[in-house]
Amino acid sequence: MFKGCCMKLFVISFLLFMIVHFNSVNSQNLSIGFMGGIKSFPGNSYYSKDIGWPGIYEINGTRTWFTGLGFSSELNLGLVLNYRFSELPLGLTLDFNYSSMNGKSNWPQWDLNNPELPPTYSDIEARMDYYSLGLGGKYFFPIERFEPYISVSALMNYFGDVKSYYKKMDSEYFVNNYGLRYGLSFGGGMDYKLSKSISVNGNIAFEMNNFIKSREGEDKFNTLMYSFGIAYYLL
């Protein structure tokens, strides 16, 4: 596992070195940017279904306390490195993204000493951290300062352990784990150059986050990413 991660980091570092070296020789563009946006869950999957009532369920081969995780629209933050060919309408991207997924519901609690009383309700949350590394390309359709584009990326994603937080008891419990998954992203957007050194970007992408290496029967973790960013040209 460690050896595999080191090899991946080596390949990525080598690619970045070649990009920077090739850029310095051929006067091409390299920029670094920050982006923020929203990940939403299209359709009705295990990840977007309501948490439901407490219990033990078997969902797609995984034992869980919930009928769903209740994720809806989650904040995403990212860092991106862009490489733009000067003579071709093509570019390369390397990006890192982080999202904190949170699903909420209300669970009932009865007073066992007074069972005739109606239940009180307390918040229950499902939590999962999501990290993604993407390597891909863009094809531009330049119109002066406006540059619409289409994009495709290969994704290496890490899904953190899913945990639940029960507010009434102020306690956190482990639900289930996922780990490393691989996927693909298809999208489009527009770059607008504010100056020689700064550009802004809007983008929408459909992400198949566990397209490869998912468990047998695991529900597809597909998301729509809406993002906005700003980039600074280094070269």
Determine, yes or no, domain membership for 13.
no
Provide the strand spans (E) within the chain: 29-40, 57-59, 62-64, 73-84, 90-109, 120-140, 146-159, 162-166, 171-176, 179-193, 198-212, 222-233
* Residue 92, beta-bridge partner list: 83, 137
Question: What tokens appear for 233 in the block?
Answer: 């040209």
Residue 59 lies in a domain: yes
* Angle (nearest 5°) at CA 98 between 28 and 57: 145
Per-residue pLDDT of the chain in tens (235 residues, 90 and over written 9)? 444 554 555 455 556 555 555 544 444 589 999 999 999 998 788 888 887 766 666 655 566 667 778 888 889 999 999 998 888 899 999 999 999 988 887 766 666 677 677 776 667 788 889 999 999 999 999 888 899 999 999 999 999 888 777 666 555 565 667 789 999 999 999 999 898 889 999 999 999 999 887 777 778 889 999 999 999 998 6
pLDDT at position 6: 46
In a domain, 162, yes or no: yes
Whether residue 1 is contained in a domain is answered as no
Q: What is the pLDDT of residue 114?
A: 73
Residue 112 maps to a domain: no
What is the residue range of 171's domain? 27-102+122-233
- Write down the residue that tokens 């390397």 correspond to: 94
In a domain, 115, yes or no: no
pLDDT at 168: 60
What total of structural domains would you count in the chain? 1
CATH number at 39 reads 2.40.160.20
Report pLDDT for 1: 47
What pTM value is reported for the model?
Answer: 0.77
Q: For residue 6, is it within any domain?
A: no
Domain-embedded: residue 107: no
Whether 44 and 69 have beta carbons less than 8 Å apart is answered as no
